[in-house]
Chain A
Amino acid sequence: QKEVEQDPGPLSVPEGAIVSLNCTYSNSAFQYFMWYRQYSRKGPELLMYTYSSGNKEDGRFTAQVDKSSKYISLFIRDSQPSDSATYLCAMSAGNSGGSNYKLTFGKGTLLTVNP
């Protein structure tokens, strides 16, 4: 079983739709959970950063972490064509000190929002 599983899609939605992106993981040591967005031929950029279980909201984006189920989600409300990108989940066991804090990425989900 891979440490982090993410459905690669592609996912195509109409403008204004609510998008749900998900990752599952197997390593119970993961405590930090991130979502990165990567536009075509660009480097990833951090979108959301959460610690442990719970929800975090930032504008149209909401990140959810359920550690008991080893499941994380990213919701995008009122999706826009500019949201079209690959979304990568990432996780780490620690935040400082040695290899504990290395990020393990999912394979990314390609999202297209159609106008």
Chain B
Amino acid sequence: DTAVSQTPKYLVTQMGNDKSIKCEQNLGHDTMYWYKQDSKKFLKIMFSYNNKELIINETVPNRFSPKSPDKAHLNLHINSLELGDSAVYFCASSTFGLAGEQYFGPGTRLTVT
């Protein structure tokens, strides 16, 4: 019954590694998002996809690459991880015309050592 799911829930890795986070939604939404929440709880949009097309791309290092194989999935791949990438990453989804009503996943807590 999970609406927006993310895997893994926790990720601990070393600097320089490459890692991926997966997101899936079963709400029938056509728009998905990645957010980063830092240690001070500030939630900031990174990317948004509508029907597999990138529509929001904030100022994010190009080490971060989102991929949307279909409108129910949005994955995030991070190359050459840095200490500053440690944060909680949230996936969210919505209907395109109702961008304010976003449904968030449980988050992936990434720790880079």
Which A residues contact B (CB, under 8 angstroms)?
A: 8, 32, 34, 38, 41-46, 49, 86, 88, 90, 92, 94-96, 98-99, 101-105, 107-108
Contacts and interface: CB of A to CB of B under 8 A. Distances in A.
Contacts of B56: 98-99, 102
A92 B102 CA distance: 12
A102 B56 CA distance: 8
B40 A107 contact: yes
Contacts of B45: 102-104
A45 B42 CA distance: 15
Contact of A49 (B4, B48, B100, B104): B100
Interface size classification for chain B: 20 to 34
A105 B101 contact: no
Q: Which 5 A-B pairs have the closest CB atoms?
A: A43-B104, A101-B99, A96-B97, A105-B43, A32-B100
Nearest to B57: A99
Contacts of A32: 99-100
Contacts of B104: 43-45
Best-surrounded residue of A8, A102, A107 (most CB of chain B within 10 A): A102
Q: Is the interface of A mostly helix, strand, loop or mixed?
A: mixed
A34 B40 CA distance: 20
B98 interface: yes
B4 A105 contact: no
B64 interface: no
B105 interface: yes
